[in-house]
Amino acid sequence: MGLFSNSEQRSSRAERRAEKKAAKRATKQRAKFEARYDAKERRAERKRVEKDGKRAQRRTDRKDERAHKRELRTEGRKAKHASKASIAEAKVRTAEIEAAAAKKRLTPKNARRALSVARVLAPVLGPVVYRGGVVAREKLADYQASRAGVAPETLRQFSGKGAPLAARTATTRESLRALTLTDSSADAAAFAAAMNARLDNLAVAVDAAESMAPAARKNAHRAIGNELTAIDADILARLGVSS
């Protein structure tokens, strides 16, 4: 009886040790699973927060962009009105002088008086009208440059209906030149060469569109603008910036 009793005790202790090990393993596995689940939940929550933040930022950016476009349109209208007002004012003053002279019989004395008045008013009205026209043209040029996304001084280098597109092409070429200065690899050089070839074709298209009918020119300019936007997106992607 004693022999069986000792054997049963050893078997019982071995079973208890095995149960403890199994319980410990189960606890570790449960803790590992819970930690993995918590980490997954934290990642998901972080992604949700980042997504919500990006969505809010995009809404804010769109709102700011719309407000900026409204402001630019208002400034453009003001510039056009100012230019028209300056020209109209000059015409009114000239008409008043001519009407006053026509009311009187033309005599040497009246002619001399009218000539004297014109000499007095010309130095005053001339600079005013000129400055008004210059300011109006500058504001209009700034408005067009802002809409095209280029510097005003760059836009002033070009003329014609396609001037904003030509200015965008020049600005994109400058971006490619800066890219090759920062990245001297053969891959970057090949990328810049391919983009410049596309820009050469677009420059030819801009010149060709000048002689088109208004409706055809509008469609051509829209297609050229879309192509320039795609090239800008390729450059940003090359720089690691998502557009």
Q: So what's the pLDDT on residue 104?
A: 54
Q: So what's the pLDDT on residue 150?
A: 78
- The b-or-e profile of 113-137 (16+ CB within 10 A means b, else e) is ebeeeeeeeeeebeeebeebeeebe
| Ordered DSSP codes for 192-237 | HHHHHHHHHHHHHHHHHHTTS-HHHHHHHHHHHHHHHHHHHHHHHH
Helix, strand, coil percentages for the chain (3-state, nearest 5): 90, 0, 10
Q: So what's the pLDDT on residue 201?
A: 93
Of 63-77, 81-95, 213-227, the range with the highest mean pLDDT is 213-227
Q: So what's the pLDDT on residue 1?
A: 47
Q: So what's the pLDDT on residue 221?
A: 92
Domain ranges of the chain: 151-243
Length of the chain: 243
Give me the chain's average pLDDT, please.
Answer: 77
More confident residue, 216 or 108: 216
Q: So what's the pLDDT on residue 117?
A: 53
Tens digits of per-residue pLDDT, 125-182? 555 444 555 455 656 656 666 676 677 788 788 888 888 988 889 989 998 998 888 8
Q: Give yes or no for a contact between 203 and 169, defined as CB atoms under 8 angstroms apart.
A: yes
Tens digits of per-residue pLDDT, 18-67? 788 888 888 888 888 888 888 888 888 888 888 888 888 888 888 888 88
Q: So what's the pLDDT on residue 197?
A: 93
Predicted confidence band of residue 218 (pLDDT cuts 50, 70, 90): very high
The model scores a pTM over 0.85: no
Predicted confidence band of residue 196 (pLDDT cuts 50, 70, 90): very high
Q: So what's the pLDDT on residue 209?
A: 92
